[in-house]
Amino acid sequence: MSYLILVRHGQSVWNLEKKFTGWVDVDLTENGKSEAKKAGELIKQEKIEVNMYYSSFQLRAKNTLKIIQEELQDFKEVRSAWELNERHYGALTGLNKDEMKKKLGEDRVHQFRRSWDLRPDPLNKNNPYHPLNIATYKEIPLEKIPDTESLKDTYERVINFYYRDIEKKTNENILISAHGNSIRALCKHLFNLDNNEISKLEIPTGNPLLIELENSKISNCKYLDQERAKDLLVF
């Protein structure tokens, strides 16, 4: 048996402010740091030795993982992959979700957030929130940097990376610190969810999702913090 542990970063500053964040590199709130610490404590209680760690390029995921590793007292090297980044929200980036609901209507904002293949308008390349203008992403080939993404776009980059780098290692215990939509993409693949089901899947911040694997097949799955667990739809 092996384990795959998926952790959405702890609450970020823009989570708290209800802003569309996407690829903007914001840090954790104090509550987010506490969520990450509790995630580390819960993983430690499972007595699982993590063999490999992965994170997105983004600060909130990296710092969540740093706090988890401190709790585990395990400082193995972390593989950072931009493919695990959050979905790019295009021209919605930096805008307040509640204000956009008033402007566009709640149904339209829900479509932008949860639909499978709807992309928001692209973000202008001169906008300071565009990944081209954020130092974190200077290593990414220009042709790979998006102006906007749908969940489908996010799924394709995440799953291509999973096939290329993670799937062949699932006989090891792996922990991935990432984001709501990149983890939803992984869950769509792992749980074989259809395009409608994935719109209903909610990923809570800082709550480890423990997936048990037998010969690379899922045998069980649970959130470690049951008080903040969300419906996994299939388990």
Catalytic residues, which ones?
A: 9, 86
DSSP state of 165: I
Going from the C-alpha of 182 to that of each of 9, 47, 75, 202, 232, the distances in angstroms are 11, 26, 24, 12, 15
Which H helix or E strand runs over 53? strand 52-55
Amino acid, res. 50: V
CB 205 within 8 A of CB 35: yes
Q: Is the dihedral of CA 15, 19, 25, 26 positive or negative?
A: negative
Going from the C-alpha of 44 to that of each of 68, 194, 203, 224, the distances in angstroms are 9, 33, 21, 11
180-191 vs 151-161: helix crossing angle, rounded to 10? 70
CB 219 within 8 A of CB 189: no
Q: Are strands 2-8 and 209-214 parallel, antiparallel or unpaired?
A: antiparallel
Joined together, the tokens standing for residue 38 give: 């509790």
